[in-house]
Structure 1
């Protein structure tokens, strides 16, 4: 039986953990304008108005995934999100989008405070235009040398995302990137992403010098997420080892690594590569035709899984933290769990 003194001691320790957490991610919170320095990873078809507004309303920072949206669609999505939250949120733009300049105009017309540029080194003109328009620019840094290059380009914050993440990934793990980059970058806030599913991990990276964390997979099974019930069920029954990176069979036919849950489509993709390579070697198709056949295999596959619920023929993009997704929860509850876990870790 615990005494009142014991309980007071536990409460005091818990408060110390929360105070320490506030200190560690204060820079990230001030940069984002949020209560918690937790960003929602931008996931195509998933990170739209409902999930984004729920994240921001719960004290985190939602980010719209523009993906392949046209400028008109992005305009509508930002406007709709604004009707659902008065808290800060951002927009993720893909640097390879053919209408990047027009998309930049859209976010500036809406007075967006934060823009995440992803999918490669952004053109310097885009960074400067966003900054001149009053937006803070966040970019992904897959290596220290690129982090320093991005700083020289004028970015306002960095995200380092390891290969444990879902979707398109680089070759290096989060833990290695954190050790490589965090001790050497102090000019801007740095957010850590990839394989983060619990608050203890967030706290650990904060202690290493991060200003906050970005999570995607953890929020797929939020109540507010519009992903199809089948898509969410696939997450709930999966373990970390089920989230695997796509494999390239022949260097002549490049495959951008994507981490997703194994299903019938991922098995067919391997066979498709073999069939295409055999046709090329037999002289039935030329190199360009073969490359396009492989590249187009996944066209529309993410929407097929997320929106239509076809979890066997679609793409089930998920990070290795999927094993920590165990139930459907409101976003606010997920964030509170993460915060409590981080504070408890810092108590210890």
Structure 2
């Protein structure tokens, strides 16, 4: 299955395992890469020395390409970028910031750069900044999201119409049918996040994985737009947010409620009441916890079956 994405990353299948905070350590990334897709380490939940350790362990666990996802809003981003160069990582996905800040610097050091966007406007800015590809993420996605609430199936063709660089679809993709649908709409590949949360190799707490597989349609909602839009499973913390909104809170009051390390508390430590539980809408279709290899195989088998079904119409 060769196309612009498989050639760009030197992988077998045009699928990227998303670099998610508190879920995407070296075990997940290496298992993904060993399955023929691109694995990503999520640097957003790691101090620099921890990231270095995960990169080194990932190198020992796979000989295949892997990358690091870097949210650029973190204060130690310069140290993180230097570690990535020191450790000879060849692929970086940037997000939550201006792609012009680091793209040229990374490319001058032989690194392929992909930027995550949630709108046509930011896709064009990323292309102008010279990135090698963009991840175009729709409203259905888990974790931090775009404010415009544009869904994946409308966003992908709108971006495709405007850009020339490779396009990776994200948001609500956990199956082979969804992969085919977005590629028909113009995507060159897909990024899968939530489905890999519910994998054996995910670094998420088992309690969080169990909640994900029991999540139903309507159990998640986008909130905290005043800070950074995030899709959460509805729990006590989410209800506390909704209660605070009734009083028209200031940004400072919302920040005070959020506090520090709320996502770690929920997804990594397993506090299902007061933790932040980030997941995509597609969780309603995730019913089991499997190995990464099994998940990738399921997606590919369904993708090929769906292609045959489409040709019968």
TM-score above 0.5: yes
Kept after mapping to 2: 8 A contact 1:276/1:294: no
Kept after mapping to 1: 8 A contact 2:118/2:145: no
Correspondence for 2:257: 297
Kept after mapping to 2: 8 A contact 1:183/1:208: no
CA distance, structure 1, for counterparts of residue 252 and residue 300 of structure 2 = 45
Structure with the larger helix share: 1
Aligned 1:249-288 pairs, distance under 5 A? 254-274=226-246, 277=249
| Aligned-residue offset at 1:276 | 7.7
Correspondence for 2:178: 201
Q: How many residue pairs get matched?
A: 306
Q: Are 1:189 and 2:150 an aligned pair?
A: no
- After alignment, is 297-306 or 131-140 more displaced? 297-306
CA distance, structure 2, for counterparts of residue 80 and residue 100 of structure 1 = 21
Correspondence for 2:44: 67
Correspondence for 1:144: 120
Consecutive aligned runs of 4 or more in structure 1 exceeding 6 Å deviation: none
Which structure has the larger Rg over C-alpha atoms? 1
Question: So what's the TM-score if we normalise by structure 2?
Answer: 0.93
Distance 1:247 1:293, change over 3 A: closer
| Aligned-residue offset at 1:100 | 1.8
| Aligned-residue offset at 1:335 | 0.5
- Residue deviations 1:290-323 (CA, integer Å, cap 9, x gap): 5333114232121112222111111110100001
CA distance, structure 2, for counterparts of residue 307 and residue 97 of structure 1 = 19
Instruction: Give 3-state SS (helix, strand or coil) of 2:218's partner.
Output: helix
CA distance, structure 2, for counterparts of residue 329 and residue 233 of structure 1 = 12
Kept after mapping to 1: 8 A contact 2:213/2:288: yes
CA distance, structure 2, for counterparts of residue 255 and residue 148 of structure 1 = 24
2:18 to 23, 26, 41: 41
Aligned-CA RMSD value:
1.7
Q: Are 1:241 and 2:218 an aligned pair?
A: yes
What residue ranges of structure 1 are gaps of 5+ in the alignment? 1-21, 249-253, 278-289
- Residue deviations 1:235-271 (CA, integer Å, cap 9, x gap): 11111311111166xxxxx242211110111001222
Correspondence for 1:7: none
CA distance, structure 2, for counterparts of residue 239 and residue 150 of structure 1 = 35
| Aligned-residue offset at 1:32 | 1.5
Distance 1:27 1:239, change over 3 A: same
| Aligned-residue offset at 1:105 | 1.1
Question: So what's the TM-score if we normalise by structure 1?
Answer: 0.84
Correspondence for 1:163: 139
Correspondence for 1:9: none
CA distance, structure 1, for counterparts of residue 193 and residue 267 of structure 2 = 14
Correspondence for 2:106: 130
Correspondence for 1:97: 74
